[in-house]
Structure 1
Amino acid sequence: MALWAKAQQLVGDALQQVQAIYGEHFPIEVRHFLAPWIEEKVLQFRAAEVDPDNPQHEQFASNLLMSLVHELQMRANSLSPEEHFITKIKLMDAATNFQQRYSLHPINLLRIMQHCLNTEIKLVTQAENAGLDLGGGTNTVATEILQQIEIIRGRTQETAEELRRMEQEQESFALQYHECTKVNAHITHLQNQPQPNPQNGELDKKLKRQKEILEQTLSQKVTGLMQQRIRLQDKLRATLNLISTVQSRILDEELIRWKRDQQLAGNGAKFHNNLDAIQEWCESLAEINWMNRQQIKDAERLKQKLPLDNQGVADILYQLNQQITQLLSSLVTSTFVIEKQPPQVMKTNTRFTATVRLLVGGKLNVHMTPPHVKATIISEQQANALLKNEKAGKGDASGEILNNTGVMEYQVATRQLAVSFRNMQLKKIKRAEKKGTESVMDEKFSLLFSSQFSVGSGELMFQVWTLSLPVVVIVHGNQEPHAWATVTWDNAFAEPGRSPFVVPDKVPWPFVAEALNIKFCSQTGRALSDDSLRFLAEKAFRSTNVNDFTNMSLTWSQFCKEPLPERNFTFWEWFYAVMKLTREHLKGPWVDGCILGFVRKKQAEEILSGCATGTFLLRFSDSELGGVTIAWIGTHEDSKHNEVFMLQPFTSKDFSIRSLADRISDLHHLQSLYPDICKQQAFSKYYTPFTDNQSTTNNGYVKPMLVTQIPRLSGGNSLPPTPQAVFQPQSPENTSVVGDNVSSCAGAGDVDYSELLGVDLTSIDETLENFPDFIPPFVPK
């Protein structure tokens, strides 16, 4: 939909702003009646990079003024006086005023036209972003691209009409030339008569006059045909230049941006998938390219059918044919894309999927002979060689993939030509020789998808291929964290147009922080705070004495190679483990803001030291991978003074037995979540419900329930171990952990254990009170 058509649908203040930019200097009637012409001219000047502030471009503006006046006069004369009398007068007056106003400084006219259209684009875009349906794209880019495509389509239709007229003129010329040939033959016949004849003399004079008239007409027609050919060549060249500009914008900007966004989505960034819109643009370009290619071929056919003297004008049809064929080839090969990427961390002998799509396949009727697509895995070295068009890139694969071939299918409803690989499996991988500290998790591969097909009844043959995002191949789950480090770093910091798969070894911290934040937010549901990011910076740089990390750069080695001080794991391994723990077991409380998480032990102590007894917070462990600990302020059993305690960290293994919320519920001395939130308010919705029908199982046994307790803790609302806890089995992984005693109880507070066990527990209770470390010498059956 053209820009002016959308501008007319604006309402309220936006419509008033459009009306305000037009006036005596540029009447709105001119904008309305010459809308397609004006938008096309401004587009042409943009393509030629004409700058209104550059005095050297004065000639362009002068030509624009002359063309505008001419168009206004033609349009005014084409209007019916009865129906458009007033409009005709206004257009003629506008043509006169333009000549008077801008003849000395035509560059001002170009500046005004560009300002008007830029204002319209801004207002239309604002309206569309606000949800107003103006029949176009959702942003400025979409609006401009659709507008440019419509202009090119209009030019293509004009050249098609001109080509048709030229063919008619050439046919007319051929008929008259044939007539002239007959006259010449008749004259020759008369002149070859052996005896003169008065009648033949008169006829000869008549035929010679007819010949003279025909030759004059033919000469005029030759001149006209040559002018038509030159004009057609110039229009075709201008159209192809416009096509090249718009196609470059779509393929080199919009499609590349889509691919980059797809890569960032691999790190969890939000992905605005506008591939359907890009396909619509590319399909329009494919159709326009093909039509212009056919027009150039028709022009060459007409030229061969009637060779004429070029009169010193260069014949550029051959170059135009090469240019349009190259544009079409670039369009087809660039739109063979991976719509759904294979997994970037790929485990051998594990099924995976991928989807490949040809955006222009439906428009070029490629689906009439559905092409086959093959997937192979290649190394970084082979990918480099492939991009350099070296034979090494087309050699053996670096691995064996099962179910790696498929046929592209066309979906009529969506107009998509695509193939989905649903059951691929990597069976073998061939690795390169490692250097220095490199590991198999540093090595990058890529899936190469390739195909070939023809268009135009075999007229053009295309061999297309595309590479997936970098893939790290692992054989065991314990290789996964480092593999994701390689992938995350590559996705975040890969530069446009790089050689596969080069990434910087050092990156400014703000970019690293953004990548970590996106990754953590996508996995856990809540972004990291500024304090959390500063904590991560201190941990990554191994320093707490830096006020501002903005100008510091983090190396790949610091990120995932060098162990943290006094630890046997790296920064990334610690971060990855925390992220995995939060995603799998702590997501709800983390999203609610109940987990402070990224805070140092000393800082936690300082925070809690001024709080009321029973206040607690949750922080990720510094010493244990994927651990979260509870820090609280309570009363020490010896000194009776408040002290900050740290519970031994819980891990995924612990939470697979009993959830964090249930464990917090078990610990009665934990009363308020920092700063002052009731524990029940913060965590009750995550408690595991327990009903009476859960107390027994189908076979009649009493069902136990694990409860978290901290023995021998005085102060607060903590409870000492009960006799029930002594007699009930503890989980093996917790019985050896001091300060995290997880015991099981029947879960029913009214059970008479003396009757149940057949043992008098009174003496045992007294013994436990007098001797806290006493262990009963028996376990009742």
Structure 2
Amino acid sequence: MAQWDRLMGLPDAYTQQLHELYNRDALPMDVRHYLSVWIEKQEWERAAHDYDLAMALFQVLLENLDIQHSRFVQEESFLMKHNIRRYKQNFQRYLDDPCGLANTILWFLGKEKEILKSADLVEQVECLHVAPEAMEMTSQQDLERKLSGLRNEVQSTLSDLNKLLNKTDDLIDILVKKELVEWQRRQQKACIGAPDNVLLDQLEKWFTCVAGYLFQVREFFGKLDELVEKLTYENDPVKAQKPTMQKRAETLLKDLLKSSFVVETQPSMPQGKGPLVLRTNVQFSVKTRLLVKFPELNHSMKVSVSMDREAPQIKGYRRFNVLGTKSKALNMAESQNGGMVADFRHLTLKEQKAGGGGKGVSDISLSVTEELHIIYFDTVFEMKGVSVELQASSIPVVIISNSSQQQSAWASVLWFNLLRQQQKYDTCKVTWSKFSKENTPDTFWVWLDGILVLVKTYLEDLWRDGLIMGFVNKGKEKSLLKKKQRGTFLLRFSESVIGGITFSWVEITITGAPGVKTVRPFTKADLCQIPFHEIIRGYQILEAENIPENPLLYLYPNTPKDEAFGKYYSEKTGSDRKYIRTKLVFVSKEDTLEAKSPMSFDMTRGEGLEPMNSLCEEAAEQNQSPASPLETFHPDPMLSDSFAATDDELLRFLNSPNSFDDSGSDILQDEAGLLDCGLTGYNCLPQQSCGSIFQ
């Protein structure tokens, strides 16, 4: 019991001594009463010799008086408000001598102890003369008081333990439903080209830490079980509350463990275009990881691989057998950072032979590249009496049997991982059928993929530097260029030629009005001979007098051509060359539209072969393709209204991370628009075919 509380409970004789003690202004009784708890907790004896400590306590004392003053203002206690203000003013005299204040308070506390000691002595003497019955009554009351205090401490411990479980529940909820889901979404985006961080080290630390705490809680409950078996009593709170809390701790631990087994590296072939596209009879690799890393589990947990456990009942849906080493132990040796992993490096898939050609429940017709298959991984966590079956699953993969199916398979992967947030595609500007399935001369995806390959192979630097406008149709191109000066040109992707890029420029017509001319698209057949920047540098047209002229002067909107492309030029000017240099250039005749072959110019004579590329007006391509992709789906050919992004960002994102990791694209950085894109129940992804996704 606090010293002041004991003084308040003394008989009147001792209370009178207390009044006489505090009948002075050095330490008013009101201050001693209202600040009793704080005063008794301070080290006044040390403060009497330590100026810094004394000054700190002096300042805190004044602050506490301000707090009491505010309380009395709210309670409208005029007298106490007045007294507290006066006490604070009196204490100001200790501003220059805080150690004196400490000595004063220390003296008062010593006098209080003398009063208590005197009262205790009298009480002990009186106890010697108490009747046996009174002594027994006092003993029982004291015992009851101690038992009550013990029960309160037990209940307080149980309450603290319940609070700990509540906080652990909240923490697991954050780890599993937020941090892990965000990592899974980043991994999903990285599989289709986004430069996202997919490291698991931090998640592993968090999962391991929480799991360790829960194992300690289990051990604590085990000790309580032993104590309850040895001793219990009526209305024992431990016996009543422990089973519920123990069951809750077990549930929290198992939930955490079930979410801790993940696929760290998604299935991929060494020479594939990207992950998630596998080919029968070709080896692929995949890596799983346990985020709860306990060294004693090293090499003790076996991971097994399986395929399509509950395959959808769709007619013609293929089944596969997994071949190779299908069982591996989780270990820390195969991970560079010491994670608990099982790295499957030499797995292959073999299609099962049809067993009778039975008809599926659904008559949905799927092509090979529209089927989605899931690879499952199973293991059992066993440690300190805890046994939990764990399962992880890959992102759905597409399985092909021929390299010619690679392009269509990658279209399915992109569609699933990029646009699966849309439950209905009625509002999409490109439906799945038009994107990759419709049997037109070329699907939208074939057109787009041709551009991706062209950029990655030949135009990467130009694209990164923003020199290619890219996705703009002829109508928009014409409206942009006709406002510019003669010789202004822009670079765009062809709408009719797969994997083609062209440029258009402003030319002043005979009437003096600006016109737009477009060169026939260049493809990889051209760019493998001459880099595109060299084509732009040396491109010429032959006017009526057969005088070659380069019509490309300013890159849209107004950047001089050599300023924009100069750093890419492979040949520098100078007179110190040993030999006369030659180069290939593209030349168009202004009065003809016929395609010619590449021309080798003698740099000193200007003679060479016939020109290669034809010159056409801005509508020339339109005659070849009445419904080009950009005209049909402009301006956002692949995205729905709820997933808006610019076309150039889309291209950067869809390409591989090695090509555009520095492009600054933020197509997938807006998490608000992608928060619901993650695969629900990622560790146990529900079986689903492309039939339900692409319809």
TM-score clears 0.5: yes
Which amino acid letter does the alignment assign opposite residue 442 of structure 2? F
1:299 corresponding residue in structure 2: 224
The answer for the alignment partner of 1:742 in structure 2 is: 597
Match of 2:496 in 1: 623
**CA 313–339 in structure 1, closer or farther in 2 if over 3 Å, else same:** closer
Q: Distance in 2 between matches of 1:616 and 1:306?
A: 92
**Residue 255 of structure 2, aligned match among 330, 337, 347:** 330
Secondary structure of 2:308's aligned partner:
strand
Alignment of 1:274-673 (within 5 A): 275-310=200-235, 315-342=240-267, 343-362=275-294, 365-367=296-298, 369-378=299-308, 381-382=310-311, 398-410=320-332, 414-428=337-351, 435-436=363-364, 438-456=366-384, 459-494=385-420, 504-506=423-425, 541=429, 555-562=431-438, 568-609=441-482, 614-633=487-506, 644-668=516-540, 669-673=550-554
Deviation per residue, 1:99-147 (Å, 9 max, x gap): 78579999xxxxxxxxxxxxxxxxxxxxxxxxxxxxxxxxxxxxxxxxx
Residue 708 (1) aligns with residue 625 (2): no
CA distance in 1, matches of 2:582, 2:352: 49
Q: Deviation string for 1:731-753 (max 9, x for gaps)? A: xxxxxxx6442336486757999
Amino acid at match of 1:410: M
CA drift at 1:625 = 1.8
Which segments of 5 or more consecutive residues in structure 1 lack a partner in the other structure? Answer: 1-68, 107-207, 385-395, 496-502, 510-540, 542-553, 697-701, 715-719, 721-737, 754-760, 765-781
Instruction: Tell me how far 1:466 sits from its aligned partner.
Output: 1.0
> What is the DSSP-based 3-state SS (H/G/I as helix, E as strand, rest coil) of the residue aligned with 1:375?
strand
One-letter amino acid matched to 1:479: Q
The answer as to whether partners of 1:707 and 1:742 remain within 8 angstroms in 2 is: no
Paired residues of 2:587 and 2:599 also in contact (CA < 8 A) = no
Pairing 1:23-102 to 2, within 5 Å after superposition = 73=37, 77=41, 79=43, 81-83=45-47, 84-85=53-54, 87=56
Report the CA distance between 1:341 and its aligned residue: 2.1
Question: Where is the helix percentage greater, Structure 1 or Structure 2?
Answer: 1
Are 2:581 and 2:603, in contact at CA under 8 Å, matched by a contact in 1?
no
Which of the residues 248, 266, 270 maps onto 2:173? 248
For the residue of structure 1 that corresponds to 2:194, the secondary structure is coil
Percent same amino acid at aligned positions?
24
Q: Would the aligned equivalents of 1:79 and 1:88 in 2 still touch at CA under 8 Å? A: no
Which residue is equivalent to 2:30? none
Going from structure 1 to structure 2, the CA distance change for 1:407 and 1:313 (only over 3 Å counts) comes to closer
Change (3 A) 1:635 1:439: same
1:206-245 correspondence to structure 2 within 5 Å: 225-245=150-170
Provide the C-alpha distance between the structure 1 equivalents of 2:337 and 2:70, rounded to a whole number of angstroms: 53
Spell out, residue by residue over 1:299-318, the C-alpha distance to the aligned partner (whole angstroms, 9 max, x if none): 12111111222268861111
1:454–1:460: 8 Å Cα contact kept in structure 2?
Answer: yes
The Cα RMSD (Å) is 4.8
Distance 2:415 2:554 in 1: 36
- 2:278, 2:399 within 8 Å by CA — same for their partners in 1? yes
Provide TM-score, normalisation by structure 2. Answer: 0.59
1:680 aligned to which of 555, 562, 581: 562
Q: Where does 1:750-765 land on structure 2 (aligned, <5 Å)?
A: none
CA distance in 2, matches of 1:95, 1:270: 56
Contact 1:632 1:644 in 2 (8 A): yes
Which residue is 2:29 aligned to? none
Secondary structure at the residue paired with 2:586? Answer: strand
The answer to whether the 8 Å contact 2:261/2:291 transfers is yes
Paired AA for residue 444 in structure 1: L
- Structure-2 residue corresponding to 1:514: none
CA distance in 2, matches of 1:576, 1:231: 66
- Could you say what secondary structure the match of 1:315 adopts? helix
Instruction: Classify the secondary structure of the residue corresponding to 1:350.
Output: coil
AA in 2 matched with 1:571? F
Residues 623, 407 of structure 1: alpha-carbon distance in 2 compared, 3 angstrom cutoff: same
Q: Distance in 2 between matches of 1:673 and 1:282?
A: 57
Q: 1:90: how far off?
A: 6.1
Distance in 2 between the 1:640 and 1:251 partners? 68
Letter of the 2:253 counterpart: L
In 2, distance between residues paired with 1:438 and 1:99?
79
Higher RCO (Cα < 8 Å, 6 or more apart): 2
Is contact 1:357–1:417 with CA below 8 Å preserved after alignment? yes
Secondary structure, in 3 states, of the residue corresponding to 1:349?
coil
TM-score, normalised on structure 1? 0.53
Q: Which amino acid aligns with 1:254?
A: E
